[in-house]
Amino acid sequence: MEGEAGLGSASLRGLQVYFRKVYFSRDSARGAERTFLWFVSEVGEAADALKDGDEHKLRAELADVIAWLLSFCNVVGIDLQDAVVEKYGSGCPRCGSIPCSCD
């Protein structure tokens, strides 16, 4: 990881660890349900930016989506990298192919 905040080449797990260091105290006090609702709110803001064709705002909102998703995962104790690898590590979870060959 590089840069002042140490995020330059962070893996998904590295990002999750970073957001845990920065926000876990506040996120855990807020609780899983309210943290998840913040995540969903950010998805809505990203959808608005997409609809408006505002690429700069979309980039910022997608960063917020990732931050809130990882914060939620920290609160509920899910290592998102492990979950993604478990489900998608062998290709499409439905057909098992890379690339997906589902109809």
Q: Which domain holds residue 55?
A: 12-88
**pLDDT tens digits, residue range 34-43?**
999 999 999 9
Q: Which one, of 65, 70, 66, 64, lies nearest residue 16 by Cα? A: 70
Residue 61 counted as domain residue = yes
28 pLDDT more than 80: yes
5 band by pLDDT with thresholds 50, 70 and 90: low
Give the gyration radius of the chain's Cα atoms.
16
Residue 4 counted as domain residue = no
Higher pLDDT, 103 or 63: 63
Answer left, alpha or beta for residue 99, where phi above 0 means left and psi between -120 and 50 means alpha. beta
Q: Which two tokens stand for residue 64?
A: 């917020």
CATH number for the domain that contains residue 44:
1.10.287.1080
Q: What percent of the chain has pLDDT over 90?
A: 89
pTM: 0.89
Average pLDDT, the chain: 94
Give the number of domains in the chain.
1
Q: Say if residues 79 and 13 touch (Cβ distance below 8 Å).
A: yes
